[in-house]
């Protein structure tokens, strides 16, 4: 099974976990701020065998990015030369879809010992020593073998088609479906893709009207077909029809652009559109049939578990933290070490080893501490 841009898959459990992380990591930072609204210290520390710098950053806002320049070791404005931007747990790079620069990243140290069968080991995380973990910043790495990763768009819809390697055709997944939040942010649908090829997608769905708590009994069906020469068609669940993508009233944007190897179902909001659409899933067909509500499951509010389209960087592809390991809604760093090139197209550009060592460095959540050291000769 393949999906958009051949990115890593999100399983149903991973989607739920990601949603819980975003719900649980709340709180504002009450520390004093500098003139840019960010508390920022950048000081040399003696880590392992060589010195590195550290910076404590007030990134507590849920809406505003804080921009950081590794060469200056300080926060800067968006108009300046920035390398990283931070917002709560999110980190993006100035390159690809996130910025006009050529900053890119790679994973240097995966910290595999922090995980057992892909699950975070609570004892390892909670007993990790920040000073000892700083040794990875001093390690030597062969930068010539690195494949740099630029920020890219990620669709919330994952595993939504089946690819046949023999016929090179795509078809609908018969054993799964999705819960979909509409662009208005208040209406929901339970959706199955019934037919699919490179020009047409057909769906069946039942909807939960805004202000209600359960699905209606009426089932809707619709088919969207790409016009001749077009690479996209938009689907309006409320109107049960295909619409012009310039129209604000759509939930899914069906995109087949073989020239750019793009096969996507975008949601309205996050990347394309100004809506608040999102998805939860994929969910097995058997499990999906048991849902009577899109916002409540066995007495539990699931409305915050929906995911919208977004951009992703090396930091989201290989997360730098685990959440709620001790039942206290706390975030724990895994001390993964990342390489950040300030210009992936210039072999002489400075490259930095970077760790996130703390999420509460200023006393509250949303204040990550960066530790970093230049690991090449640079210019």
Per-residue pLDDT, 38: 56
Q: Find tokens 């209606």 and name the residue.
A: 216
Q: Using alpha carbons, select from 187, 183, 335 the residue that is nearest to residue 249.
A: 183
41 and 73 Cβ atoms separated by less than 8 Å: no
The domain spans of the chain are 4-15+156-308, 31-152+311-374
Per-residue pLDDT, 260: 85
Tens-binned pLDDT, residue by residue, of the chain (379 aa): 333 333 333 333 333 333 333 333 333 333 333 334 454 544 444 444 458 999 999 999 988 999 999 999 999 999 989 999 999 999 999 999 999 999 999 999 999 999 999 899 999 999 999 999 998 898 888 888 899 999 999 899 999 999 999 999 999 999 999 999 999 999 999 999 999 999 999 999 999 999 999 999 999 999 999 999 999 999 999 999 999 999 889 999 999 999 888 999 999 998 999 999 999 999 999 999 999 999 999 999 999 899 999 888 999 999 999 988 888 889 999 999 999 999 999 999 999 999 999 999 999 999 999 999 999 976 5
CA triple 253-248-221, angle to 5 deg: 55
Per-residue pLDDT, 50: 56
User: Residues of 295-324 as b/e, b for ≥16 C-beta within 10 angstroms?
Assistant: beeeeeebbebbbbbbbbbbbbebbbbbbb
d(CA 181, CA 39): 37
User: Residues of 35-60 as b/e, b for ≥16 C-beta within 10 angstroms?
Assistant: eeebbbebeeeebbeeebbbbbbbbb
- How many Cβ atoms are within 10 Å of 5's Cβ, its own excluded? 14
58 and 362 Cβ atoms separated by less than 8 Å: yes
The pTM (predicted TM-score) of the whole model is: 0.68
């Amino acid at each position: 099974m393949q999906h958009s841009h051949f990115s890593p898959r999100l399983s149903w459990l991973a989607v739920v976990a990601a949603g819980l992380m975003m719900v649980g990591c709340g709180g504002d930072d009450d520390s004093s701020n500098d003139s840019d609204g960010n508390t920022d210290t950048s000081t040399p520390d003696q880590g392992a065998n060589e010195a590195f710098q550290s910076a404590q950053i007030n990134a507590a806002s849920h809406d505003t990015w804080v921009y950081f320049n590794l060469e200056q070791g300080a926060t800067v404005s968006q108009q300046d030369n920035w390398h990283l931007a931070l917002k709560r747990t999110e980190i993006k790079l100035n390159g690809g879809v996130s910025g006009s620069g050529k900053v890119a990243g790679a994973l240097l140290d995966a910290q595999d010992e922090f995980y057992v069968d892909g699950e975070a080991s609570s004892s390892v995380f909670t007993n990790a020593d920040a000073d000892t973990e700083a040794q990875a910043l001093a390690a030597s790495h062969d930068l010539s073998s690195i494949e740099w990763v630029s920020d890219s768009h990620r669709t919330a819809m994952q595993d939504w088609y089946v690819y046949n390697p023999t016929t090179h055709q795509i078809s609908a997944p018969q054993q799964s479906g999705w819960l979909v939040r509409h662009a208005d942010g208040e209406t929901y649908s339970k959706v199955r893709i019934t037919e699919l090829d490179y020009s047409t997608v057909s769906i069946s769905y039942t909807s939960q009207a805004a202000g209600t708590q359960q699905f209606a009994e009426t089932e809707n069906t619709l088919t969207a077909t790409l016009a001749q020469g077009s690479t996209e068609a938009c689907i309006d669940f409320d109107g049960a029809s295909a619409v012009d993508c310039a129209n604000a009233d759509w939930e899914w944007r069906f995109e087949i652009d073989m020239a750019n190897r793009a096969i996507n179902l975008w949601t309205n909001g996050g990347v394309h559109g100004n809506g608040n659409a999102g998805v939860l899933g994929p969910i097995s067909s058997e499990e999906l049939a048991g849902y009577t509500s899109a916002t409540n499951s066995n007495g539990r509010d699931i409305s915050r578990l929906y995911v919208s389209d977004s951009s992703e960087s090396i930091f989201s592809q290989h997360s730098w933290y685990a959440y709620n390991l001790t039942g206290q809604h706390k975030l724990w760093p895994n001390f993964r070490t990342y390489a950040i090139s300030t210009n992936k197209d210039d072999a002489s550009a400075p490259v930095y080893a970077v760790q996130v060592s703390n999420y509460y460095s200023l006393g509250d959540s949303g204040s990550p501490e960066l530790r970093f050291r230049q690991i090449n000769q640079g210019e």
